[in-house]
Amino acid sequence: MLMKNILSYGERFILLSLILIALFQFSQWSYQTLKYLLGLFLHVEIAYTTFLDPIIGIITLIGSFLLLVGAFFRWKERVSSQTYLLLGLTLFLFKNIFEILGEVLSLRQKYEIISEQQLEQLLSNINGEFFQIIIWALLLFYFARQMQKKALPINTSSKPSSEEEPKKDE
């Protein structure tokens, strides 16, 4: 089913950005996940990885796929795009939450005693993750709102519906 409205330039920019982000994240995390899994299979210890790395990788791969499908469907103005976009954005939001946890665990794994400089670097990395979480949350809100607009029936008639009783003057 096709949507009735035409996409604005702003929404086309958002969709193009989501496509590029999804492709970049897919390529980066497919490499990381494959490296981690091959390391496990071949009994190679990969330094400074945590148990969260493959979880983050799988979440990112699925989220990237859903974002790509959702963005392409939205570009083609198909109603089903909203579900894919919302699921993909939600997975990316969780990916960033897990990345924050992974950063903390990785720092604890690297150093017994953490210096103030290392703590500052960790906080800088966490700020970047929070920024991404805010972006995903805003995009989630935007597309959820778009989905809600499509779902609400609009009554354009000025007459009261047959179910409503007209008010009587007393």
Cβ contacts of 6 within 8 Å, gap of 6 or more: 77
Q: Is position 157 within any domain?
A: no
Residue 37 in any domain: the answer is: yes
Inter-residue contact 3 to 150 (CB < 8 Å): yes
* pLDDT tens-digit series, residues 6-29: 778 888 999 999 999 999 999 999
Amino acid (1-letter code) at residue 105 = L
> What's the pTM?
0.80
Structural domain contains residue 163 = no
For the chain, what is the domain count? 1
Assigned domain for 165 exists: no
In a domain, 108, yes or no: yes
User: With 50 as the cut, is the pLDDT of residue 170 above it?
Assistant: no
Domain-embedded: residue 134: yes
- Determine the pLDDT at residue 68: 95
Query: Is the confidence at residue 160, as pLDDT, over 60?
Result: no
Q: Is the pLDDT of residue 42 over 70?
A: yes
For residue 162, being part of any structural domain is answered with: no
Model confidence at 45, pLDDT cuts 50, 70, 90, reads: confident
Domain holding 142, by residue range, is 9-147
Average pLDDT, the chain: 86
